[in-house]
């Protein structure tokens, strides 16, 4: 309903006299009234406003009341549409009611009749709106608890506050982080806290499909557009209408598909493969990648213009080794989850086993922790998980210096880079954010380099360059 609690109504008719009469009548009854002379003007009015009720003549030249009804229902299925009809088109009006119109009124009508009908439509609209808001609030409270990412570390709570701040907006979000850090969990969290919570949440891994199939999944295709296209197929952009579309591993998308995605984000419409008519797109896009897209741009593998379209809001998820304070909480929740699935009490982790878990760097991040604990629960017969149930690569991991000794006289360039990064990390007390600033690179680039070196972090025992 309108902010001032006065229901807004759009009146569409090709006769100016009827428009003037209804505008005065309904305004005196407390409605906010807008008028449009003819169906074509009515469609234009719908593009710039969202009335609570639409009152339209059925038979008009160029654009009919049935077409007005279809446009209203596409814009908002909950908007009541009242049709004005002459006796000759009464059957058409009845069919329209069966197709979704709220009601019809025959011309000539009395003032009391039209006012009563519009007031009833306004009341139905109000009740539906309140019911939708109530359901949305209930679901938001329930679902936000269900999907809220776990973690109380300072670095992670900052990320959650940012997510909660941007969730109610329509801004496109780019989530970056190593594989397994929980990028889809954050994407779902954004959806559940948004105004689109009643809409669908769809996700697609852009690296899991070949280019031709990816385009079909994203944009749809028309029958006969390629071998095997035996029927029209709706794309995920269309299927996610009114909701959130999560594009995972966006860095894996080919340059050709990147161009088409850019058009969708700019024009808010998509053309199916083999089609000629564009389909309106109404989705909130959240993208994710474990790649350094700025580095990909330099290498010519990712479009700069698409990067800036996606990177309106950037959320960088740290690896689990940089938020060790959250490991025990995550482990506890995973154990509760496995217990519920098995219908048994949650298992606990022995003290020495938890110390091993906390000391491990978890290169696979949260996903690796979950998988390791599921394995441990499966192998544990009693109530307490011991170290023997933990994979050997975790329990037998040895502490090694970040940079191994080199025997060759002239070290390779990557060895020098690795040693320099180690030295800067030590100088900054292991703080990767400050180290990245000193090195003049993004934190994501530093994380990627460290992951490539397979380094657990700065070792205080390792000498800085020139101090051997």
| Strand partners of residue 35 | 11
* Whether pTM exceeds 0.75: no
**110 lies in a domain?**
yes
CA 23 to centroid of chain Cα atoms? 42
**What are 64's two structure tokens?**
């009919």
Do the beta carbons of residue 387 and residue 350 sit within 8 Å?
A: yes
- DSSP class per residue in 132-191: HHHHHHHHHHHHHHHHPPP--SHHHHHHHHHHHHHTTS---EEEE--TTS-HHHHHHHHH
The verdict on 290 and 190 lying in the same domain is yes
Do the beta carbons of residue 183 and residue 248 sit within 8 Å?
A: yes
| Strand partners of residue 82 | 55, 103
Mean pLDDT by 10 residues, the chain (468 residues): 72 93 93 94 90 92 90 89 79 76 87 92 88 70 60 91 94 94 94 92 90 87 74 88 95 92 92 84 95 92 95 95 93 92 92 92 93 94 92 72 52 76 81 80 78 53 40
The verdict on 18 and 62 lying in the same domain is yes
Q: What is the DSSP letter of 232?
A: -
pLDDT of 397 reads: 58
The verdict on 380 and 413 lying in the same domain is no
The verdict on 27 and 40 lying in the same domain is yes
**140 lies in a domain?**
no
The verdict on 231 and 294 lying in the same domain is yes
The verdict on 375 and 435 lying in the same domain is no
Nearest alpha-carbon partner for 349 in 397, 384, 390: 384
CA distance 322 to 443: 12
Strands lying side by side in the sheet with 244-248: 201-205, 244-248, 284-289, 173-176, 313-316
The verdict on 284 and 339 lying in the same domain is no
State whether residue 262 is helix, strand or coil.
Answer: helix
CATH of the domain at 198: 3.40.50.300
Q: Residue 431: give the domain boundaries.
A: 400-468
Do the beta carbons of residue 36 and residue 11 sit within 8 Å?
A: yes
**227 lies in a domain?**
yes
Q: Of 96, 129, 162, which residue constitutes the final position of a domain?
A: 129
**134 lies in a domain?**
no
CA distance 34 to 23: 7
**What are 174's two structure tokens?**
């780019």
The verdict on 167 and 309 lying in the same domain is yes
> Exposed (0-12), middle (13-18) or buried (19+): which is 386, by Cβ within 10 Å?
middle
CA distance 220 to 433: 42
**1 lies in a domain?**
no
CATH of the domain at 421: 1.10.10.60
The verdict on 274 and 385 lying in the same domain is no
The verdict on 287 and 425 lying in the same domain is no
| Integer angstrom CA distances of residue 31 from 2, 4, 34, 119, 437 | 10, 10, 9, 9, 60
Structural element, H or E, at residue 8 = strand 8-13
At residue 467, φ and ψ (nearest 5 deg) are: -120, 20
CATH of the domain at 102: 3.40.50.2300
Q: Of 271, 290, 318, which residue constitutes the final position of a domain?
A: 318
pLDDT of 87 reads: 67
| Strand partners of residue 34 | 10
The verdict on 163 and 309 lying in the same domain is yes
CA distance 176 to 174: 6
Do the beta carbons of residue 363 and residue 290 sit within 8 Å?
A: no
Q: Of 318, 333, 367, which residue constitutes the final position of a domain?
A: 318
| Integer angstrom CA distances of residue 425 from 87, 112, 404, 462 | 84, 80, 16, 11
> Exposed (0-12), middle (13-18) or buried (19+): which is 340, by Cβ within 10 Å?
exposed
Nearest alpha-carbon partner for 366 in 158, 203, 176, 183: 183
**284 lies in a domain?**
yes
Full 3-state SS string of 31-55: CEEEEEECHHHHHHHHHHCCCCEEE
**63 lies in a domain?**
yes
**137 lies in a domain?**
no
pLDDT of 411 reads: 64
Looking at the structure of the chain, the number of domains it has is: 4
CATH of the domain at 346: 1.10.8.60
Full 3-state SS string of 411-452: CCHHHHHHHHHHHHHHHCCCCHHHHHHHHCCCHHHHHHHHHH
At residue 385, φ and ψ (nearest 5 deg) are: -80, 125
The verdict on 285 and 432 lying in the same domain is no
Describe the crossing of helices 443-453 and 432-439 by its angle, rounded to 10 degrees.
100
Nearest alpha-carbon partner for 115 in 31, 57, 32: 31
């Amino acid at each position: 309903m309108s902010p001032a609690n006065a229901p807004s109504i759009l009146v569409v008719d090709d006769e100016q006299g009827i428009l003037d009469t209804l505008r005065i009548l309904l305004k005196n009854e407390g409605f906010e009234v807008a008028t449009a002379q003819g169906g074509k003007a009515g469609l234009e009015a719908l593009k710039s406003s969202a009335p609570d009720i639409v009152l339209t003549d059925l038979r008009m030249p160029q654009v009919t009341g049935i077409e007005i009804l279809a446009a209203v229902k596409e814009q908002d299925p909950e908007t009541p549409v009242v049709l004005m009809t002459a006796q000759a088109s009464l059957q058409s009006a009845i069919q329209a009611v069966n197709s979704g119109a709220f009601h019809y009124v025959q011309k000539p009508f009395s003032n009391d009749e039209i006012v009563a009908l519009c007031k009833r439509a306004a009341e139905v609209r109000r009740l539906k709106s309140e019911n939708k808001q109530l359901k949305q609030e209930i679901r938001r409270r329930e679902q936000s608890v269900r999907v809220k990412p776990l973690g109380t570390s300072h670095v992670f709570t900052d990320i959650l506050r940012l997510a909660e701040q941007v969730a109610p907006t329509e801004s496109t979000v780019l989530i970056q982080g190593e594989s397994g850090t929980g990028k889809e969990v954050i994407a779902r969290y954004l959806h559940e806290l948004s105004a689109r919570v009643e809409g669908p949440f769809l996700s697609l891994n852009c690296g899991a499909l070949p280019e031709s199939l990816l385009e079909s999944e994203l944009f749809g295709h028309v029958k006969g557009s390629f071998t095997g296209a035996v029927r029209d197929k709706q794309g995920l952009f269309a299927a996610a209408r009114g909701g959130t579309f999560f594009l995972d591993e966006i860095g894996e998308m080919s340059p050709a598909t990147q161009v088409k995605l850019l058009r969708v984000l700019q024009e808010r419409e998509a053309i199916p493969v083999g089609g000629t008519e564009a389909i309106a797109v109404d989705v909130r896009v959240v993208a994710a990648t474990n790649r350094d897209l700025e580095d990909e741009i330099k290498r010519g593998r990712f479009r700069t213009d698409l990067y800036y379209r996606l990177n309106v809001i950037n959320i960088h998820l740290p690896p689990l080794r940089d938020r060790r304070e959250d490991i025990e909480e995550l482990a506890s929740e995973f154990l509760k989850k496995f217990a519920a699935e098995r219908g048994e009490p949650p298992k606990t982790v022995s003290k020495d086993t938890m110390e091993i878990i906390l000391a491990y760097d978890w290169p696979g991040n949260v996903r690796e922790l979950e998988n390791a604990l599921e394995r441990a629960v499966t192998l544990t017969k009693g109530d307490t998980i011991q170290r023997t149930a933990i994979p050997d690569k975790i329990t037998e991991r040895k502490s090694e210096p970040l940079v191994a000794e080199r025997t060759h006289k002239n070290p390779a360039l990557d060895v020098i880079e690795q040693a320099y990064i180690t030295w800067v990390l030590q100088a900054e007390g292991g703080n990767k954010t400050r180290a990245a600033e000193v090195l003049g690179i993004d934190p994501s680039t530093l994380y990627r380099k460290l992951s490539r070196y397979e380094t657990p972090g700065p070792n205080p025992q390792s000498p800085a360059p020139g101090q051997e």
